[in-house]
Every structure is written in structure tokens, then in C-alpha cells.
Amino acid sequence: MRDLAETSPRHRPGAGGALVSEGHWSHRHLLDVDQLTRAELEACLDLAVEMRARRDRHEALDHLRGEVVGLAFMEPSTRTRVSFELAATALGAQVVNLPIEASSVSKGESLVDTLLTLQRTGISTIVLRHSMSGAPYLAARSCDARIVNAGDGTHAHPTQALLDALTLREAIGPLDGKKIAIVGDIAHSRVARSNIHSLTALGASVWLAGPPAWVSDFVGWPGVTVANQLDDALADADAVMALRIQLERLGGDAAMSQRDYTASWGLDESRMELARRGAPLLHPGPVNEGVEVTADLATSVRSLIGTQVTNGVPIRMAVLSLLAR
Amino acid sequence: MSRFGSLGDPPATLLLSGARLIDPAAGADEVRDLAILDGRLADPRSLPPGAERIDAAGLVVAPGLCDLHTHLREPGMERAETIESGARAAAHGGFTTICAMPNTDPALDRPDRVTWVQDRARSAACRVRVVAAATQGRGGQEIVDAGELAAAGIAGVSDDGVAVASEEAVRDLLTRLGPLGLPLIEHAEDSAAAGGAVMRAGHTSTRLGLPGWRAIAEMSTVERDIRLAAETGGWVHVTHVSTAGALDAIREAKGRGIRVTCDVTPHHLALTDAWVGGWRTFSWRVPAEDPFMTPLDAALAYDSACRVNPPLSPRADALALLAGVADGTIDAIATDHAPHPRDRKAVEFGAAAPGMIGLETALSLGLAAVAAGSLGLTRLLEALSAGPAKLIGETRSLTEGSVADLVVFDPARPWRVEASALASKSSNTPLLGMELPGVVRLTVAGGRVTYRDGID
């Protein structure tokens, strides 16, 4: 059927040196992790480890020399945008930040028009954050720039899933046969959806826990178990990932108060005792302390929240350099 | 070479030799010659010497198709479609009558607006009947003057695009329309239950992170309208039914003698909600892939051409709808031909205007279902011709003496759906690029040749 035309010139990495961990990678865009094979996922994580080391050694990298990376964040974001900007800069790219107002979906200029304008000004890679699910797919078939999905609606957040996989792999070892619990509003979470793809692809079994309205639609997803109660998901879990709750949803489709949510699904040190000894806690941030996670737990030795943020830059370096090959 | 004619042309005289005639109303299916003399079906021996003779061996002749649900976009959105272009699309698809829906700008809520459309359609490539708005400005509250509109010759009333909001308005309409023999054509969707949804709820919507419309959104309006039809004795026609539950409710109501009829679109029969995820498998094929697991195809996922209202149904509903056509619960297949210009579709899935074109692919999708063994050919043609025609007071017959009103098509010949192959001004359909069976060779409406292709 319809094929994406590969019309843009590919830019070769410069004298950055051969990277031992570069595997096969045939993708022009990163729209979600579902497109990556297990080998590609692992190659990306391996490359991120190497990128992190070289960055720590203050090596000058030029994989994206001569390239312009456009950051089109049509929704507010701090950590993801900053981390993409640092990653692109570290690889020698020039970075253009689009103000939200200029790129907002408003009458007059459509998303497609905006992206075509960016492409025509010489931007070769567009990092897109958008409030509507599927926007990066429209972008990928509407313009010739490489598209990196930095989060679309309630659909996907592939670089978050990759940095989570890296963080988990380094904390608990290979994910084969590991039990990972994801707790909260799965239905509206792009982080959860992408993590389900990557964690199951890496061999983990994923348990979902949260109010029924937020988890029941996932029954039947291969490799996924929907827990009836939080304790079932936590029992002997090798790691636990909490999601940020949008407080305004609690009154709506979840039909429960914040206090009820926390009582049934909130994570604290004593509940974490059900998990394997030392099982780490992840959270994509920012945390609603005292709602989905207690402040004590978020700052405890279990917490990998800071590591996740740190891993964001090398993961995005790996993604940007792989797409530019 | 294809050519369009119009209702203003002189009546046709020609002979179709050796065609397979299927006349569902008469229960006929036979191979014989069929003659048209001055626009009427005639004894082949009565044709004058030198009359055009068309070798129709291998072709099917069926009564002219009738579409109960067409958006012509005129007045107000002529860059998407006009009465003229939409009628040509109809003739190209084998239709001889289409019913123009009233959600134009301004809405067709007054007799003068109805006659304006009728006048402009007088020499179109098919008959254009008008469905008037049910309420002033389609606002859902203040009902239109049913008597005056009936006198203007409307086919029914509808607030299509939405259900008639007020229960009181529905009751009044049914009470007034019933004695006039006209239906309230209802787009059954409880806007509160459907709130914000852009596709049907199911595995695909979960996978895609798109808000899902649950079947109850259709059911609650259908139940309300059946209750009011029973109470008033009026006639409700549920258009584009899309859920197995609503279909069951209609079947049950028909069994109780309540005046309720319904139609289904070709796309709700053939396509499924998985198409939004980029899958391109017809409903009658067993899907080989798990919508949760298969990587999304960057070229096809979230294709706004699949955004349609009511949304594409999960496979189980589509199969139930096919069974509903086969068993006669569904009276008609109606296209809901909904042209949109490119800029209304080249946007994010959730921001795209809902609707897809259908006049030129309806017969082909039906024939694909027939080829798959999901529907009988005679029943398909009945649901596209005599079935809907009866609901708007028209007849369809291939018996001698009748006015010639028919379609001639090559049932097996494939064609590729491409914008350049369509007579519609718009090309918003996810079928673009696909090959479908069934090429229309000749359409004759009211005794006039309105379309011919490859027959010279």
C-alpha cells in the first residue's frame, strides 16, 4: 500500500568514531517503540550507555554536525524538551526551539503547514510533542523531515520508555522473566502504553493496577496482566512504576476522590514491602507527592526518579544519532 | 472512455444483448436481451433497425441504485461537492436516485430551500430527492413545518449529523409525519454518551490512545425513538445503524409491528475500527493480526479518512450488520457519502471532519462481500435499489413497459480507487489505492443514459 517516500538526503555521521554497539537500524522516524525489534531496542540502550560514557568524558561528538533539529513542543514540557535540546547539542546539531504559541494548533496554520515550513527552512529532524494521539504519524507522512515523537496525546512516549528500560536494566539486570508493575491511570498514559510495548518486547511480564475505568480496557494485551487490586500487582514485583495522576480526572471518569485513590492505589514504603527486596520505584515525573507516591518513598533509596531524568539525555542522543544514520 | 449524461437528455433507445438480468422485486435472475425504446423497457423485436446494440454478455443488469443518505454540500460547501458533481458521482456508482441531506449552510429547513435544491438538480445525472431538516436550523428544538415540506416533495426529515435533541420534538414530528407517510430519519447518537469520542471503544482505540465511543451512545437514542414510534404510530428510520445492539432492538421492534426501518453504510459492513490503526482487512476476513501487538504502519495509522460518524465498528458488529442485511432487518444500504475538502482531512485524526465518500464504491464493496460469500448478490442489489426506493415512494422494476431505470456492471472486473477515477470533487476515502471488484458500464435513470463507460 502507500509507502513513505525516503526523499531526504541522509546525513552521515562525521568523524565521531565507530561505535561498537551500533546494530541494525532502518528507521527514519521514531514514532513509538512498537516499531523496534528486541535487537534494536537493546542496540539503542547499549548506544545510550556508550553515549553517556563519552559525554561524561567530555568528548566532542559530531554525529549531527550540520544538522538542524527543531523542537516543536505544542504542549508544555520541561524535562523532555531540555533533554532533547541537550542531546542534540551534544551531538553537534543546531537546535531551533519553537515557541508553543507559534506552533499551537490554531485556526490559520495547520500542523502540516507548520511542519512543512520547518522542513523548508532546513530543519532535518523535528522533535514533536503534541496533545493529540497520532499527530506524529500525520507528521511523518506529510513532510520529509525525520520525526521523533516526544509524546502524543494519550498514545505514546517512546523516548521515555527507552530511558525507563535503560534505568530498569541497570538497576535489576536483564528484564527477561521480570515482573514490572505499572500503577495509576493507564488508560490516559502515553508513558504506560510505550512501556508496555518495550517491556514486554524485552521479556518482562507487565502488571497493571489502578481504578477499573483506567485499566480494564487492557485486558487481553499479550504479556500484560490486569490486577484486581494493588497488592496482586506488587507481590514479588521486580520493579514498580507509578504514573502521574491528573487530579482533574479523579472526579471524572474514575469517579473517586483523591483520598480514595491514594487509599486504594497510592504507593508507600509499607506497600512496597510486598515487592521483591529492594525493588526500585520509577516515576516519569513530576510527582504528585502524597497522591500516587508518598514523599518519603519518592526520595527513598528505592527511588530511581533522578536516574530516569539523568538517563534521558543519553537515550535521546542514541535515538537522534541512530535516526540520522 | 466514460461519458456522463443527464436527466435532461433525450430518452434512450438501445439493446443490451445477453446480459444477466437480476430483478430482486420480481425474483428474476435470467440471461436474456433487454431493449430500451424511447426510455422504456420494451420487447427487443420492437426496436427500430439500426438501434444501438450493446454486447452485454458477462454483465449484470439490475434496477437503478437508490441512496437514502447523500451529502451534496450545496449550498455552503461547494468546494467539497456540488449537486452536479455529487449526482455524477452517483451515476458513476450506478445510482439513479439520491437523497440529499439537509445539513447544508443554510440548512434545508424551509420549502423554498428544498425547491431551490430540486430546481438545481433538474438536469443532474440522477434524481435528487431532498431530506429536509427536522428542526429549525437543525437546532434540535423547534420542529419544521412538516405539511408544507411534504407538499414540496421531501423524502423525509432529519437533523443528520446529530440526533433530534429534544424528546418532545421527536414526539411532535412523529405525530405530524406519520399521517403524511414520511419518516423521521434519525442519526442515532446520544451526544452525552458519545462525548469527545473519535472512534469506537475497543482494542484498537485502547492501543491508539483515542477516546472511544461505546455502543450505548447509539442504543439509547434508538430505544427512545422506538418507544416514541410505538407511542405515536409514527415512522422512525434509523440511518447508518452501526451496532449489533441497536440492530437487535430494531429487529425486535419490527417483530412487534412498530414502524421502524433502518439502513447501514457500506463502510460499516466492510470496514472495521481496526482500519483506524492502519489495518486494511475487510470485516469478513479473519484478522491475522492482534491489534494490541502489531506495529503501527506509519503510512496508514490514524488515517483521518477513517474518521467517520458513527465510527467504524468492531468486527463483531460489522458481521452482525451483514447478517442484518441478509435477513432483511436492514431495509437498505445507504452510503452516507460525506465529501470533505483536503484541508478538513489533512489534520490530526481527532481534529478531522468526520465522514467518507461512498457513492462510487458502495456497489464494489457490496460485490466484495458477495465474492467472499457474506451476502447474496440478489439481496445486495435489493438492498441497494428496490429496498431503499420503496421507503421514498419509488419503484424499481425491469419488466417490459416500465421506465428504464437500471445499472449495467461488470461484476468481476477490478478497478483501482484513485482520486482521478472519481467523479466526486472530494476523495476522502481510505479505499484509495485499493483494488475493488465491479465496474459500472452503463447507468440509465428515468429512461436517460446518465453514465456510460467502455460501451460504445
First to last CA, chain B: 9
Q: Do A138 and B302 touch (CB under 8 A)?
A: yes
Domains and CATH numbers, chain A: 33-157+311-323 (3.40.50.1370), 159-308 (3.40.50.1370)
Which positions of B are catalytic? 336
Q: Which of B201, B280, B302 sits opposite A137 (nearest CB)?
A: B302
Burial class, B127, CB count within 10 angstroms (exposed 0-12 / middle 13-18 / buried 19+): buried
Whether the CB of A111 is below 8 Å from some CB of chain B: the reply is yes
Dig out the grid coordinates for B332 from the structure.
Answer: 437498505
CA B440 distance to own-chain centroid: 16
Residue A186 and residue A199: Cα distance in Å, rounded?
15
Q: Name the pLDDT band for B455 (thresholds 50, 70, 90).
A: low
pTM of the shown model: 0.94
Q: Mutate which of A104, A132, A149 to disrupt the B interface (most B C-beta within 10 Å)?
A: A132
ipTM value: 0.94
Closest CB from B206, B300, B347 relative to A111: B347
Dihedral class, residue A100 (left if φ above 0, else alpha if ψ from -120 to 50, else beta): alpha
**Which residue type is seen at B343?**
D
Contact A143, A77 (CB under 8 A): no
Three-state DSSP at B409 gives strand
* Mean pLDDT within B130-139: 96
- Name the CA dihedral angle for A279, A280, A283, A286, rounded to a multiple of 10 degrees: 130
Mean pLDDT, residues A96-102: 76
pLDDT on residue A1: 32
Contacts of A78 (CB under 8 A, 6+ apart): none
Phi, psi of A118 (to 5 degrees): -60, -45
Question: Where do the domains of chain B lie?
Answer: 62-396+418-435
Q: A135 with A171: CB under 8 angstroms? A: no
| Gap between the Cα atoms of A275 and A119, Å rounded | 48
For residue A300, count other CB atoms closer than 10 A to its CB: 15
* Distance, first Cα to last Cα, chain A: 26
Chain B interface with A: residues with Cβ < 8 Å = 201, 203, 205-210, 212, 280, 290, 292-293, 295-302, 304, 343, 346-351, 433-434
Retrieve residue B303's grid coordinates.
488515517
State residue A102's pLDDT score: 57
* Nearest alpha carbon to residue B274 among B434, B433, B430: B430
Query: Is there a contact between B292 and A222 if contact means CB atoms under 8 Å apart?
Result: yes
Nearest to B310 by CA among B431, B160, B209: B160
| A163 at interface of B, judged by CB pairs closer than 8 A | no
- Looking at the complex, report in whole angstroms how far the Cα of residue B295 sits from the nearest Cα belonging to chain A: 5
Q: What is the pLDDT of residues B182-199, one digit of tens each?
A: 999 999 999 887 778 999
For residue A10, the model assigns a pLDDT of: 29
Q: If you average pLDDT over every residue of chain B, what do you get?
A: 96
User: Model confidence over B51-83: pLDDT tens digits?
Assistant: 999 999 999 999 999 999 999 999 999 999 999
Read off the pLDDT of residues A158-215 as tens digits, 9 standing for 90 and up: 999 999 999 999 999 999 999 999 999 999 999 999 999 999 999 999 999 999 999 9
Domain B62-396+418-435 has CATH 3.20.20.140: yes
In sign, the C-alpha dihedral spanning A245, A249, A254, A258 is: positive
The answer to whether residue A4 scores a pLDDT higher than 50 is no
Q: Hey, of B279, B280, B292, which one would you mutate to test binding to chain A, going by the most A CBs within 10 A of its CB?
A: B292
A148: closest CA among A168, A171, A172, A123? A123
CB pair distance less than 8 Å for B210 and A133: yes
